[in-house]
Amino acid sequence: DLAALGIGYAKLELIPRGRGRLLVRSPQLYHSVEEGNSIDVVMDMVNEGSRRLDNIKIMADVPLNWTKVIEPTSIEALPIGEESRAKLTFHPPDDISPGKYEVRLQFTSNSGGQPVTTDDKTVTIEIRASANILGTLLVILLIVGLVVTIVVFGIRLTRR
């Protein structure tokens, strides 16, 4: 019909393309442990986009002398709407001082040859000092002894 009119035209073909979108969820990003314990973090990765995600990699930036175990370190493919779980374990050194430490987690992936960016996650880890029961009992006994001494001398002074 258009050729009969003598006008130019071009055939338009639409190819639907989607884009993968990686959502990372974790039930808890703050952990408090005593010295000598390791920290287990569970991360759920969900493809909320409209295209498959390929080659998802998890990288953790840990403090000096810490060790990390990431299972799995990479996920080959994550179909649309699917979910995958990764377990991260962090081991602080034996001579660590009590305090708060942060571990930064980065996630990278590709969707249709294009990189997919995600927000970095920060896991805060508080290392608590182990309680010294003997020292605590000694302090309590000293306080009770001091109070008893004050009461006894107070009673003696009021009777004179």
Task: Annotate the chain with DSSP letters as a single string.
Answer: -HHHHT---------------EEEE-S-SEEEEETT--EEEEEEEEE-SSS-EEEEEEEEEPPTT-EEEEESSEEEEE-TT-EEEEEEEEE--TTPPSEEEEEEEEEEEEETTEEE----EEEEEEEEPPP-HHHHHHHHHHHHHHHHHHHHHHHHHHH-
pTM for this entry: 0.67
Residue ranges of the chain with per-residue pLDDT less than 50: none
Determine the pLDDT at residue 81. 85
Determine the pLDDT at residue 16. 63
Determine the pLDDT at residue 115. 85
Determine the pLDDT at residue 1. 67
Q: Name residue, tokens 């309590």.
A: 140
